[in-house]
Structure 1
Amino acid sequence: MRILLANKFYYRRGGDCVYVLNLEQLLKKHGHEVAVFAMDYPENMDTEWKRYFPKNMGKVMAFTRPFGSREVKDKFNRLLDDFRPDVVHLNNIHTQLSPVLAELAHGRGIRVVWTLHDYKLLCPRYDCLLNGRTVCETCFNGDKKACLDNKCMKGSRLASFIGYREAVVWNRQRLENATDILICPSRFMADKMAQGGFDARKMKVLCNFIDTGKCAKGDYGKGDYYCYIGRLSREKGIGTLIDAANCLPYKVKIIGNGPLANELKAVAHNHIEFLGHKEWDEIKTLVGQARFSVVPSEWYENNPLSVIESQCLGTPVLGARIGGIPELTDMTFSSGNVADLKAWIEKMWDAPFDYRKMAEEAQRKYNAETYYDNIIKVYSK
């Protein structure tokens, strides 16, 4: 089978990019021909397909790219002509590439599959947050004017107007007409899409996967700390975690960077260690030796890889009761509630776990071969 994967970036920038890169390797392993389409970005991995990539988006392009620019259409059509895919698998494509890709492929009779990594099809700013703080579903009813009224896009009236127009142009009916299957990595996302009017018959719930081989280890011993791994930003709930951790004597290691880094370091007590960005070899050791990890999100997390990776390393996960997190772990606390988080950390600190068994079960559940068996059925229908 010939499969074309499309994503706005082609390097390990975030969960969507990691998913695409892992999927590319998985499909090639099974003998499929795979092409990729992305924006020509300086940090992209090298690929034979980069000659088809549209230029890196500049400020002026923000007025054309979201709606399907000529360059994107011309280069994508060239790729379709030359590669002749059986399936076009879209991922994170809004703004820099745009859903015009779905229409171009669908118009040629090519099967279009779209994995949803965020809520862009429901919310112009992707994350269903009002002012970056409060969960908001105002735009789910199809009227996106709240994006203008609240200046949801970066607090800018102009950016919000572009986001609003993008949502109007690429409305639910138009997107559904050009897409065969919408893959939702969590049941929560599928329910929200249905709430927003999308046809449930076009949705397939399919949990993400990881390269479980990279999680293999012989020792499941634990250290004297718990950990957080992720972006240091408000919607991730890291502020709530620091408030709870400050009230407790247990050591916690914070892995990652973000806009709140300096603010959090200024208020954190000495037993809270900020490690910054780490590569996988170090993450494997840090997360693998933690007694548990905490995912304290305060937005509609979809299917966070941080939970899956922790469990595959034999590390239990304490997650906020929001979005798709409760589908991945039974140990949850009320999102944004410092007292509840504090109580759960105390409970988990000395709780007995069979770490090896946890890792083995998670690796069976989230391994690539299981995912392949499911995705190939989606491609083939």
Structure 2
Amino acid sequence: MKEQLRILLVNKFYYPRGGDCICVINLESLLRRLGYEVAIYSMSYPQNLPCKTSRYFASEVSFSEGVMGKLKATERLFGTGDIVRSFQRMLDDFRPHIVHFHNIHSYLSPIIVKLAKEFGCRTVWTLHDYKLLCPSYSCLYQGEICEACFTDLTQVLRRKCMKGSLLASALAYGEALWWNKSKLQRWVDTFVCPSSFMAQKMRACGFDYSKLEVICNFIEEDKLVALQSIKSDEPDSEPYYCYVGRLSEEKGIRLLLEAAQSLPYQLYIAGDGPLSDELCVKYASGKIHFLGHLSSQEIVWLVSRAKAMVIPSVWYENNPLSVIESLCMGTPVIGSEVGGIPELIREGDGCLFSLGDKEELAEAITAMMTASNIDRVAISQRAQSRFSEGRYWEALKKVYGIEDKIC
């Protein structure tokens, strides 16, 4: 009988900071319930969840600290400092068969992929953003979609894409040159792309298509059980639509608020971010309500009773969990026709509007708010089947290559 399969999950943070972290936490829970031995490797951080392997974590780095702190963070970018020693100890003691990487740039380092490969592990890397194609992650320049670095990495320097800083952009440029496509493809067995859109961009930029697998994100079983108990048809004092997410430029929140000002319907905004204070001052009104950060339970309550959820992004969204969760609650989605969003919103699940088109967005909101034939039960049932743990695991276990292994 073969020894129990050991799987190491790696992400730069280990708390529900964003979609990447939530995906890792959900995957850890799934793998443990399936009976696999699972460990976590991350960066030490005060908000991390309790973890048995935290003693192995890389030390915390920050690019906003003093000179010594910045030097330490710069070392981390290029895979030097304590990262090699701490990850090697993790490998030596846990001895994983599979290492599944998620977001590792900057606060960890791709050097750990090389170490895992040399240790003899199967290496899988789920891509949550476009860092391997765009040194500044987002494929945006001055608020517009940009693919300049797909063919010329020097553009990140010329345009000072990283925070408008020449120094930060130079570091991003150097990082992209050092951790180049040739190296990464030698060390990674499979890149998991949560959307076909991302896989197409990876292939267009020269990544080996045989190393790319498209596996959509999933919603955890516990949340599905909770959603099934929700009575979303309970009447509200007044119908409303909502936005849940980060209040930042790439999310298109300004576009939504501009459209909302011209409409008579109630809009609830859940989330915070760098634009929070500015937007509250400018747009808060009797029909636009800023709720700030909400708990998971509060978000479920808000979204499940909304007439629609709006995803107005102006960047290449990959595979947003907000769309998946909204559909699983039976709430239709009005989404920007960009990135991986159109793959999630099928006929009957909501509608799409042209990227950046305020008038078209306003028309879509009006149509959804006045619609009387939306089958929320059907939306929920379709979504819960499409985004289930079972569907995700059937695809992932092939990537892991464990169909014939005994655990």
Q: Same fold (TM over 0.5)?
A: yes
**Which residue does 2:260 correspond to in 1?**
245
Q: In the alignment, does 2:83 pair up with 1:62? A: no
TM-score relative to the length of structure 1 = 0.97
Which of 352, 355, 365 aligns to 1:332? It is 352
Which of 258, 261, 278 aligns to 1:263? It is 278
**Which residue does 2:66 correspond to in 1?**
none
**Which residue does 2:50 correspond to in 1?**
46
**Which residue does 1:372 correspond to in 2?**
393
* d(CA) in 2 for partners of 1:155, 1:271: 35
* d(CA) in 1 for partners of 2:91, 2:317: 33
Q: In the alignment, does 2:145 pair up with 1:135? A: yes
Which of 303, 306, 320 aligns to 1:287? It is 303
For structure 1, the 5+ residue unaligned runs are none
* d(CA) in 1 for partners of 2:39, 2:336: 37
Deviation at 1:267, TM superposition (A): 2.9
For structure 2, the 5+ residue unaligned runs are 62-68, 403-407
Tell me the secondary structure at the aligned position of residue 55 of structure 1: coil
* d(CA) in 1 for partners of 2:392, 2:398: 10
* Count of residue pairs the alignment pairs up: 379
Alignment deviations for residues 39-79 of structure 1 (CA, whole Å, 9 cap, x no partner): 00111011110110111003221221011123111111111
Deviation at 1:88, TM superposition (A): 0.6
Deviation at 1:218, TM superposition (A): 4.1
Tell me the secondary structure at the aligned position of residue 40 of structure 2: strand
> Contact 1:220–1:356 (CA<8 Å) still a contact in 2?
no
Alignment deviations for residues 257-306 of structure 1 (CA, whole Å, 9 cap, x no partner): 11222222233242011101001111111000000100000000000000
Q: In the alignment, does 2:222 pair up with 1:206? A: no
The letter for the 2-side match of 1:301 is E
**Which residue does 2:366 correspond to in 1?**
346
**Which residue does 2:95 correspond to in 1?**
84
> Contact 2:7–2:99 (CA<8 Å) still a contact in 1?
yes
**Which residue does 2:405 correspond to in 1?**
none
353 and 265 in structure 1: CA distance in 2 versus 1, 3 angstrom threshold: same
* d(CA) in 2 for partners of 1:218, 1:245: 28
Alignment deviations for residues 149-208 of structure 1 (CA, whole Å, 9 cap, x no partner): 111111111111111100000011111110000000000000011111111110000000
* d(CA) in 2 for partners of 1:66, 1:299: 25
Deviation at 1:215, TM superposition (A): 2.2
Tell me the secondary structure at the aligned position of residue 82 of structure 2: helix
**Identity rate, percent:** 49
Which of 118, 121, 127 aligns to 1:110? It is 121
> Contact 2:230–2:304 (CA<8 Å) still a contact in 1?
no
* d(CA) in 2 for partners of 1:321, 1:240: 14
Tell me the secondary structure at the aligned position of residue 97 of structure 1: coil
Which of 220, 238, 242 aligns to 1:227? It is 242
Which of 34, 41, 44 aligns to 1:37? It is 41
* d(CA) in 2 for partners of 1:51, 1:29: 24
Name whichever of 265-274 and 86-95 sits farther off: 265-274
**Which residue does 2:26 correspond to in 1?**
22
Tell me the secondary structure at the aligned position of residue 318 of structure 1: strand
**Which residue does 2:65 correspond to in 1?**
none
Deviation at 1:340, TM superposition (A): 0.6
* d(CA) in 1 for partners of 2:398, 2:330: 30
The letter for the 1-side match of 2:144 is T
Name whichever of 6-15 and 266-275 sits farther off: 266-275
Structure 1 segments of 4+ aligned residues over 6 angstroms from their partners: none
Tell me the secondary structure at the aligned position of residue 306 of structure 1: helix
* d(CA) in 2 for partners of 1:235, 1:324: 14
Deviation at 1:214, TM superposition (A): 3.5
The letter for the 2-side match of 1:359 is S
**Which residue does 2:8 correspond to in 1?**
4
> Contact 1:7–1:37 (CA<8 Å) still a contact in 2?
yes
* d(CA) in 2 for partners of 1:303, 1:92: 14
Name whichever of 55-64 and 302-311 sits farther off: 55-64
12 and 218 in structure 1: CA distance in 2 versus 1, 3 angstrom threshold: closer
The letter for the 1-side match of 2:386 is K
Tell me the secondary structure at the aligned position of residue 70 of structure 1: coil
Which of 66, 84, 101 aligns to 1:73? It is 84
> Contact 1:288–1:315 (CA<8 Å) still a contact in 2?
yes
The letter for the 2-side match of 1:172 is K
The letter for the 2-side match of 1:290 is A
* d(CA) in 2 for partners of 1:165, 1:264: 35
* d(CA) in 1 for partners of 2:282, 2:44: 40
Matches within 5 A, 1:120-159: 120-131=131-142, 133-141=143-151, 143-159=152-168
Which of 292, 296, 299 aligns to 1:276? It is 292
**Which residue does 2:171 correspond to in 1?**
162
Tell me the secondary structure at the aligned position of residue 197 of structure 2: helix
* d(CA) in 2 for partners of 1:63, 1:235: 26
Give me the CA root mean square deviation.
1.1
> Contact 2:122–2:189 (CA<8 Å) still a contact in 1?
yes
Alignment deviations for residues 216-252 of structure 1 (CA, whole Å, 9 cap, x no partner): 2241216410000001111100100001110010111
**Which residue does 1:188 correspond to in 2?**
197
